[in-house]
Structure 1
Amino acid sequence: MLSNRRLLLAVTALAPALWGTTYLTTTALLPPDRPLLAATLRALPAGLLLLLICRRLPVGAWWWKSWLLGVLNIGAFFALLFVAAYRLPGGVAAIVGGLQPLVIALLASRVLHERLTKRVLVAGATGVLGVALIVLQAQARLDPFGLLAAVGGTVAMACGIVLAKKWGQPAPPLTTTAWQLVTGGLTLLAVLLIVEGLPTEPLTATNLAGYAYLSVVGTAFAYVVWFRGLARLPAGTTAFLGLLSPVVAILLGWGLAGEVLGVWQVLGIVVVLASIAAAVGRPRASACRGGHLPHATDVPPRARRYGGRTRSAGEPVPRLDRRERAGNTHAT
């Protein structure tokens, strides 16, 4: 069972690792100053591809649920993410994004009734510190609109993740991911036509290769893996895996783009990895006695037989008079 959980965590971690390649792909392969075009071409083709594979549409209430989840997890998140990236230094935007595990853990404790432990809170704060060590620069300046966009994107996806966990999945992850990507992509397309408009210059082969990678690998595959893990793991646990994105981004910049990796950045990577390990690791048995009420899904204690009826653990043993004790003695 433990090995299955570790395998599920490892597979789910592929999603944020792939998202960590977005920055290098965008700067190296995509045309500049087209954030909404990049967001639309990342989401909509991926959703249509998955929809072509699954060939299934939402039913009943899942039409509006899919649209809302698509707007929160894809449409609003992608749009606000690119706005923040263009108006804020990358380090500031990454730190705001690093707050997402804490936001999700807090929302999950209220909406999903998941345990909010000191370990999760400390791991979340440590993760933000690690991201800051990796990406923050002393000369970073704050743009109020960009900061608002970064916070909005973080909160939007956090709400989308918690709602997706609360509502469950009426179909396999591939199908529900297709619904969200299509609805989110169509929303982005409408915003693109209003704000940016269609590109006036033809896209190059390099641009098309970049869009294809982001759409098929960085979005279609990554989001199927992500929502599959979200369906089987607590939302608070899944959220901490997202801290892998800045780690992968900085390592790719060092390995492929010739960027310098300093001592503070290495320390930040270690801190982030430690916070992820602390958050996703199973608590010890003693930690479960720390004042938490049992969940409805917890396995009840084994019942025992007393006096011909079943008694649950914790229920006091009924006192027997002399005659009943004698009868039980003879029965044995």
Structure 2
Amino acid sequence: MDDNARRRRFVSGVLPILLAAVLWGSTGTAASFAPPEASALSIGSANMGIGGLVLLAAAGRSVLPLLHGGPRVWRTIVAGAVAVAVYPLAYYKSMDLTGIATGTVVTVGSTPAFTKLCEVIGERALPHARWVGASAVSTLGVALVVLGQRHPDEGAHGVWETVAGVALGLLAGASYAVYSYSGARLIRQGASSRPVMGVMFGVGGLLLIPVLAATGGPLFESGSGLLVAGYLALVPMAFAYFLFGRGLAHIAAGTAATLILIEPVTAAVLSVAVAGEHLDPLGWGGIILVGAGLLILDNSK
């Protein structure tokens, strides 16, 4: 890959994904300002439920050709939308059961492997050695970041709670893999990223609205809760997934899944700078490893 091609790939594909991941990394700090009575399920369903409907509205009439794409297109849309709905519920409940550190590392750390598995099954595309190396280095870095981060509000968790939380974290990682692969597949088939993100996240958002209606009372009963819900729906959801869709049009879903490993790094830095948490030297070493993995990935084909 020559320098011009690498530069275009970075600007059009890598940079939007990285910016989206940075915005996603702000969700934990933003959620810390929600009322204590607001549940993890209400925050997660507000994030992707309302945000998904915003993406659908922003896509407007551009979604019509996609809606008339036939059964094969709709199977991909439905698979992605169900994954969109499952992801925030599994992810936030995983953190609730196991703590922020474990829930984050299981979910985000498992995402690249699940996404590559989707590509192997759907495209018969075996991973190349550089991708494996980059993902391994970055995933180790993520593990060190979350292990080096102290969460004073996290208490001890029972064995079965931890097992259930880890399983939900793996489910969240697999869900992210399915909807990112589904979106990338539709884009590769000729659809634009804007209607793809609008339809997939809009349908997923509709699936989450009943959950939000059942759990969202405490979140919407205060000004701080409304601000948190509005920020989560508009910035790390609607705008970030617009960027994510743009990036998916230029790079593979497996590459995107490795790039989003910058998300827990962002979350760790923000928790130190804003929420007053502490990151040990182990964690800062993890940040260096994540950066090294991303550099390896950016130099791959």
Task: Give the counterpart of 1:117 among 123, 128, 133.
Answer: 128
Task: Give the counterpart of 2:200 among 163, 176, 180.
Answer: 180
Question: In angstroms, what is the RMSD of aligned CA positions?
Answer: 2.4
The alpha-carbon distance between structure 1 residues 203 and 172, as it changes in their structure 2 partners (threshold 3 A), is: farther
Q: 1 CA distance for matches of 2:110 and 2:219?
A: 38
The equivalent of 1:222 in structure 2 is 240
CA offsets 1:164-208 (integer angstroms, 9 cap, x no match): 323336543222212122211121223445xx4451685212111
The equivalent of 1:277 in structure 2 is 295
The equivalent of 1:158 in structure 2 is 177
Q: Any unmatched runs of 5+ in structure 1?
A: 284-332
Q: Please report the TM-score for the alignment, with normalisation by the length of structure 2.
A: 0.84
Q: 2 CA distance for matches of 1:198 and 1:75?
A: 16
Shift of 1:125: 2.0
The equivalent of 1:190 in structure 2 is 210
Contact kept, 8 Å, 2:25 with 2:264, in 1: the verdict is yes
The equivalent of 1:2 in structure 2 is 6
Shift of 1:35: 2.3
Contact kept, 8 Å, 2:41 with 2:215, in 1: the verdict is no
Which SS does the other structure have where 1:55 is aligned? Answer: helix
Shift of 1:38: 1.7
The equivalent of 1:84 in structure 2 is 94
Shift of 1:81: 0.6
Letter in 1 for 2:203: T
Q: Which has the larger radius of gyration?
A: 1
Q: How does 1:1-332 map to 2 (within 5 A)?
A: 1-8=5-12, 9-56=14-61, 57=64, 58-59=67-68, 60-61=70-71, 62-72=73-83, 74-97=84-107, 98-136=109-147, 143-168=162-187, 171-192=191-212, 196-199=214-217, 203-283=221-301
Which SS does the other structure have where 2:285 is aligned? Answer: helix
Which SS does the other structure have where 2:255 is aligned? Answer: helix
Q: 1 CA distance for matches of 2:212 and 2:232?
A: 18
Flag the structure with higher helix content: 2
Shift of 1:64: 4.5
The alpha-carbon distance between structure 1 residues 279 and 76, as it changes in their structure 2 partners (threshold 3 A), is: same
Higher relative contact order, chain-length normalized (CA < 8 Å, sep 6+) = 2
Letter in 2 for 1:182: G
Q: 2 CA distance for matches of 1:211 and 1:148?
A: 27
Q: 2 CA distance for matches of 1:185 and 1:54?
A: 14
Q: Please report the TM-score for the alignment, with normalisation by the length of structure 1.
A: 0.77
Shift of 1:76: 0.6
Q: 2 CA distance for matches of 1:245 and 1:261?
A: 15
The equivalent of 1:296 in structure 2 is none
Contact kept, 8 Å, 2:138 with 2:289, in 1: the verdict is yes
CA offsets 1:200-251 (integer angstroms, 9 cap, x no match): 6852121111111111111011111112211210122111111001110111
Give aligned pairs, total. 280
Contact kept, 8 Å, 1:230 with 1:238, in 2: the verdict is yes
Q: 2 CA distance for matches of 1:206 and 1:198?
A: 13
Letter in 1 for 2:89: A
Q: 1 CA distance for matches of 2:156 and 2:23?
A: 26
Which SS does the other structure have where 1:6 is aligned? Answer: helix
